Amino acid sequence: MKTMVLVWLWLLVAEALLPVHCQPFSAHGDKSLGAPGPASQQPLEPAPAHHRVTPTITNFALRLYKQLAEEVPGNILFSPVSLSSTVALLSLGAHVDTQAQILESLGFNLTETPAADIHRGFQSLLHTLDLPSPKLELKLGHSLFLDRQLKPQQRFLDSAKELYGALPFSANFTEAAATGQQINDLVRKQTYGQVAGCLPEFGHGTLMVLLNYIFFKGNWCPLLASMGIAPTWCVDLTAKWKHPFDRYQTRKQESFFLDRRTPLRIPMMRQKEMHRFLYDQESSCTVLQIEYSGTALLLLVLPDPGKMQQVEAALQPETLRRWGQRFLPSLLDLHLPRFSISATYNLEKILPLIGLSNLFDMEADLAGIMGQLNKTVSRVSHKAVVDMNEKGTEAAAASGLLSQPPALNTTLAPHAHFNRPFLLLLWEVTTQSLLFLGKVVNPAAG
């Protein structure tokens, strides 16, 4: 299976606050999921710098998810790595007090982990995700669009480039429509036409747009490079199921229950394969772990009928750790929807509810970016798209633990039918980082 995820995120910095417009993994060679944390590290090796930030990113993700679940009735999808790294990058341009407030709002304890170590942790995370791999290709970066009449602080530009790979671009924000079109065109080209027209209009007081996006699909970045397009912030992930689905086994019309009384007819992929699997009686949910051929891992959580809110309330790092300790390989009769969903958020109302009000505070001091006071973030927009289907090729190697014993009776395989709303968590195993988190309520609401 190929999985495509797009994420587009931008932060708009203006002269004043504008009105809000509401519209442990195993250390023994397998990829079993636990909550990221020190327990999974080799005892005699120093912990990589990114281990300082990945547990906090996970905590931040779960807090944001729960807030979105209260505000958004339908599908949910966002990238914790995208959001947290962008906010941390912005804090580089803040006065020491404002920077501390921003990082603490993300969930960091500055007594235990100083700001410099946090930024080095993000640097390590982005660098590690960017390392070449024969099975998993990731390319990362950020972009800064700065008004050409301003003189940004060189120290900020140097730190942003060194730590976050952020490249600056000159922009003329006095011509708002033309500049907005220019940025939208750039993103549209960089996402191979998948993201277009998602940047709202901005006013003449805009001074900076800080953006990133993630494109999660086959091998597209080399294609863009051949077209002379330089990606700013992309993830290019060739992600194929370790055990691919046979498209001839897909049923084109199978019921997916939006609620107990509302069935929806959708294509349902099917297979009988070995996967790590458990039923959590305490949380009333089925948890399934599906491996990609590279260093990516998909966790699917299927609440019992009527138990979605109970499962969402139980989402804690401790819950992920407990699941990681209880997974067992099991032969499953798996039914999984073939779906394409998207989600778009203006987060300037949501982020303050989980503690990030200082981003939008008139007292926030971002003078480290341009040497001018009283600059605030007015909007935070985030867009994500996921497309899952049967396509893909078999992995070059298979884990012995998950390989199917020849003597098993496939007719007795327990079933895992994802025929009602479920959660998805997409992990990168090497860094133990949560790349995407979401909820599929309606698989046909693309």
**Residue 195: its pLDDT value, please?**
61
- Cβ distance 381 to 200 under 8 Å? yes
Alpha-carbon distance of 300 to 423, in angstroms, equals 6
The residue with greater pLDDT, 229 or 4, is 4
Instruction: Find the mean pLDDT for residues 324-333.
Output: 90
What confidence tier does 123 reach under pLDDT thresholds 50, 70, 90? very high
- Residue 125 per-residue DSSP state: H
Considering the domain architecture, whether residues 353 and 221 belong to the same structural domain is answered as yes
What's the pTM? 0.82
- One domain for residues 112 and 202: yes
Residue 166 pLDDT: 86
Kindly state the tokens that stand for 242. 């370790």
Percent of the chain with pLDDT over 70: 69
Note whether 156 and 113 are same-domain residues: yes
Q: Is residue 146 domain-resident?
A: yes
Task: Report the range of poorest mean pLDDT among 29-33, 160-164, 406-410.
Answer: 406-410
Look up residue 363 and give its DSSP letter: T
Residue 391: predicted pLDDT: 52
pLDDT value at residue 221: 37
Mean pLDDT in residue range 76-93: 89
Alpha carbons within 13 angstroms on the beta-carbon side of residue 350 total 23
- What pLDDT score was predicted for residue 269? 93
Q: Is residue 405 part of a domain?
A: no
Is residue 264 predicted with pLDDT exceeding 50?
yes
Compute the residue count for the chain.
446
- Crossing angle for the helix pair 54-71 and 80-91, to the nearest 10 degrees: 110
pLDDT by residue (tens digit) across 232-245? 333 434 467 778 88
Judge if 371 and 420 occupy the same domain.
no
376 inside domain: yes
- pLDDT recorded at residue 410: 42
CB atoms within 10 A of CB 260: 9
Report the SS3 class of residue 267.
strand
pLDDT value at 12 more than 80 = no
Structure tokens at 191: 């996402």
Q: Please give the pLDDT value at position 214.
A: 62
Are 354 and 326 found together in one domain? no
Q: Do residues 323 and 356 share a domain?
A: no
Pair (122, 234) in one structural domain: yes
409 in any annotated domain: no
Pick the range with the lowest mean pLDDT from 123-127, 327-331, 366-370. Answer: 366-370
145 lies in some domain: yes
pLDDT band at residue 134 using 50, 70 and 90 as cut-offs: low
The whole-number pLDDT of residue 193 equals: 65
Judged against a pLDDT cut of 90, whether residue 32 lies above it is answered with no
Q: How far apart are CA 84 and CA 96, in angstroms?
A: 18
Spatial strand order in the sheet of 166-171: 166-171, 142-147, 206-216, 3-14, 376-388, 339-346
Helical (H) or strand (E) element with 215: strand 206-216
**Both structure tokens of 51:** 């281990």
Q: Say which residues have a Cβ less than 8 Å from residue 164's Cβ, sequence separation at least 6.
A: 85, 88, 89, 92, 122, 123, 126, 142
Q: What is the pLDDT of residue 86?
A: 87
Overall number of domains in the chain = 2
112 and 217 part of one domain: yes
Across 3-17, 90-104, 339-353, 381-395, the highest mean pLDDT is recorded for 90-104
Average pLDDT over residues 121-127: 93
Cβ proximity of 167 and 141 under 8 Å? yes
* Greater model confidence, 377 or 420: 420
Would residue 254 count as lying in a domain?
yes
User: pLDDT tier at 412 (50, 70, 90 boundaries)?
Assistant: low
pLDDT in tens, 163-207: 998 888 888 888 878 888 877 776 676 655 656 665 656 666 777
Q: What is the mean pLDDT of residues 380-402?
A: 47
Residues 18 and 142 placed together within one structural domain of the fold: yes
Condensed to tens digits (0 to 9), the pLDDT of residues 266-280 reads 999 999 999 999 999
- Model pLDDT, residue 58: 96
Write down the pLDDT at residue 392. Answer: 30
Task: Check residues 359 and 446 and name the one with the higher pLDDT.
Answer: 359
Half-sphere exposure at residue 426, Cβ-oriented, CA atoms within 13 angstroms? 22
Sign of CA dihedral 189, 195, 198, 199: negative
Q: Give the mean pLDDT of the chain.
A: 75
Judgement on whether residues 106 and 150 belong to the same structural domain of the protein: yes
Which pLDDT does position 108 carry in this prediction?
Answer: 96
109 inside domain: yes
Q: Are 42 and 122 within one domain? A: yes
Does residue 217 belong to any structural domain of this protein?
yes
Q: What is the CATH number of the domain that holds 282?
A: 2.30.39.10
Do 121 and 55 fall within a single domain? Answer: yes
Please report the beta strands in 281-321, taking only residues with DSSP state E, as ranges in sequence order: 285-291, 296-303
Domain hosting residue 265, numbered range: 247-337+415-440
* CATH number for the domain that contains residue 165: 3.30.497.10
CB of 250 closer than 8 Å to CB of 269: yes
